[in-house]
Amino acid sequence: MSDEQHQNLAIIGHVDHGKSTLVGRLLYETGSVPEHVIEQHKEEAEEKGKGGFEFAYVMDNLAEERERGVTIDIAHQEFSTDAYDFTIVDCPGHRDFVKNMITGASQADNAVLVVAADDGVQPQTQEHVFLARTLGIGELIVAVNKMDLVDYSESDYKQTVEEVKDLLNQVRFDTENASFIPISAFEGDNIAEESDNTGWYDGDILLTALNNLPAPEPPTDAPLRLPIQDVYTISGIGTVPVGRVETGILNTGDNVSFQPSDVAGEVKTVEMHHEEVPKAEPGDNVGFNVRGVGKDDIRRGDVCGPAEDPPSVAETFQAQIVVMQHPSVITEGYTPVFHAHTAQVACTVESIDKKIDPSSGEVAEENPDFIQNGDAAVVTVRPQKPLSIEPSSEIPELGSFAIRDMGQTIAAGKVLSVNE
């Protein structure tokens, strides 16, 4: 990795539209294919008496990593351009991509939306754009992929662009903050070099557009917040909670508290990439060990913070939500599962306080009887089990959530205030 500025990039889009292929292509074109893949390829090529490095090998390796499932969201993929070191978050192919996106998207600075030219806007295109908008993605690069399958047709490209623009307008995503590029992830058109196949296109190629993305917001001086992903027992060390530092710094010697489990202790060791480090910063995936905290004292969904400024535990909280995909209507008493950072907790919508007009942001109705798809509303929510969550204005990384029911994301939102 170079010394360039760092960005987290989400690759979103409907299944089979080419997200993994594009990730492979970006790694390949930027010379970021992992060493072990090159080694593996060399061996295989020697066995078969062939030479040359093939893009197909990157794809095989990605497919393998995908099959390994959950490890993929820890094994981040990275590549560098002239301006930035990119980490791809929310890696495609994850078993529960949307859920991964919710716990990760608040952390992605910008996103590439992949839409296949031969298929256009599909349900997951809508869902991902909606989530990106609600959870606050900065800019969107729309990669109209599989141009090779439509004979590089300008009119097919334009039609897809129009569909995407309509979608962006629907969710009030400023199309000024979106750029559109006709690509073929598979053939490599307009990724690292201008393609002769799209002579009618004179905009930026993908790597240039990535270079031109705005720099991420400087990190906030929020206190340490580290949602726990898993808790392991490692011989010789003891209990090792693992997770990603969302805000603040984790130092050895710090006194930390886990909420809502409500236990505290001193940080003995912090490990990153199998090496002991003195401290961890936002974005770092760490395992650490806390004196006196055992495996049964803490669990996934806990948030670790400073003992003197512990993560808040909500008795109730007020939130702004947008309903995206509910088969009927949401009324008071509705109790779906809320996914916030690494926690999943059933929560009851105790009251629907107001309906908001999505185009003006003004209050459209006080205490409506119900809300339905397309509605934005302010609601009061009561977790059925203790849940650590923060107002989005104070700690954005810990203030967004998705509401899941019946196997799909039915709404997403941001926490306005917390009553502890």
Binding-site residues = 13-20, 90-94, 145-148
Q: Applying CB under 6 A, which of residues 81, 125, 145, 318 lies at the interface with ligand GDP?
A: 145
Judged by beta carbon, residue 151 or residue 362, the one nearer ligand GDP is 151
Q: Applying CB under 6 A, which of residues 15, 56, 75, 234 lies at the interface with ligand GDP?
A: 15
Number of residues that bind ligand GDP (CB under 6 A): 17
Q: Applying CB under 6 A, which of residues 90, 127, 139, 148 lies at the interface with ligand GDP?
A: 148
Q: Which of 42, 235, 12, 171 is nearest to 105 (CA)?
A: 12
Judged by beta carbon, residue 57 or residue 258, the one nearer ligand GDP is 57
The C-alpha angle 410, 415, 419, rounded to 5 degrees, equals 125
Question: For residues 356 and 377, what is the distance between their CA atoms, to the nearest angstrom?
Answer: 5
Q: What is the closest distance, in whole angstroms, from the C-beta atom of residue 17 to ligand GDP in the complex? A: 5
Q: Applying CB under 6 A, which of residues 28, 79, 173, 186 lies at the interface with ligand GDP?
A: 186
Asked if 18 is part of the footprint of ligand GDP (rule: CB under 6 A), the reply reads yes
Enumerate residues 76-115 that contact ligand GDP by CB under 6 A. Answer: 92-93
Enumerate residues 20-49 that contact ligand GDP by CB under 6 A. Answer: 20-21
H or E element that contains 206: helix 206-211
Query: In the block, which residue shows the tokens 């078969």?
Result: 48
Give the binding range for ligand GDP (CB under 6 A) out of 19-27, 126-134, 256-264, 295-303.
Answer: 19-27
168, 170, 176, 177 alpha-carbon torsion, rounded to 10° = -50
DSSP state for residue 247 in the 8-state scheme: B
Judged by beta carbon, residue 145 or residue 261, the one nearer ligand GDP is 145
Give the binding range for ligand GDP (CB under 6 A) out of 50-58, 80-88, 144-152, 304-312.
Answer: 144-152
Handedness of CA 43, 45, 49, 52 (dihedral sign): negative
Three-state DSSP at 79 gives strand
Q: What is the closest distance, in whole angstroms, from the C-beta atom of residue 153 to ligand GDP in the complex? A: 14
DSSP state for residue 223 in the 8-state scheme: P
Alpha helices in 79-191 (DSSP H): 97-105, 123-135, 154-170
